[in-house]
């Protein structure tokens, strides 16, 4: 299960954050990745919600700031 979620999220992160193929996604965080700005963050939230068919609370959406955090958030909702 974790594997599936992680893979799907990896795909979403690469699509939305325009991550280069050679860059590792699983260690990404908002602070470390230049492309992860507030608009990208909004797109990320929308894409993740659409893919997994759930809605985050505004608090959750604001608090998540890394790939690992997103995996945890999604797993917690499944």
Q: Which long-range contacts (CB under 8 A, 24 or more apart) does 19-25 make?
A: 25/67
Sketch the per residue contact string, 3 through 32, with another protein: x for CB under 8 A, - otherwise: ----x--xxx-xxx-x--xx--x-------
Closest CB 78 distance from another protein, rounded Å: 18
1 is a contact residue toward another protein (CB under 8 A)? no
2 is a contact residue toward another protein (CB under 8 A)? no
What is 6-35 written as a DSSP string?
HHHHHHHHHHHHT--TTS-STT-BTTT-TT
Candidates 5, 43, 66, 69; binder of another protein (CB under 8 A) is: 43
Closest CB 45 distance from another protein, rounded Å: 8
Is residue 57 within 8 A of residue 18, CB to CB? The reply is no
């Amino acid at each position: 299960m974790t594997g599936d979620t992680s893979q799907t999220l990896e795909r979403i992160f690469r699509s939305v954050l325009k991550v280069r193929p050679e860059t590792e996604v699983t260690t990404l965080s908002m602070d470390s990745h230049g492309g992860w700005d507030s608009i990208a963050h909004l797109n990320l939230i929308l894409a993740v919600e659409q893919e997994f068919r759930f809605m985050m609370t505004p608090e959750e959406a604001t608090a998540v700031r890394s790939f690992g955090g997103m995996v945890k958030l999604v797993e917690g909702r499944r």
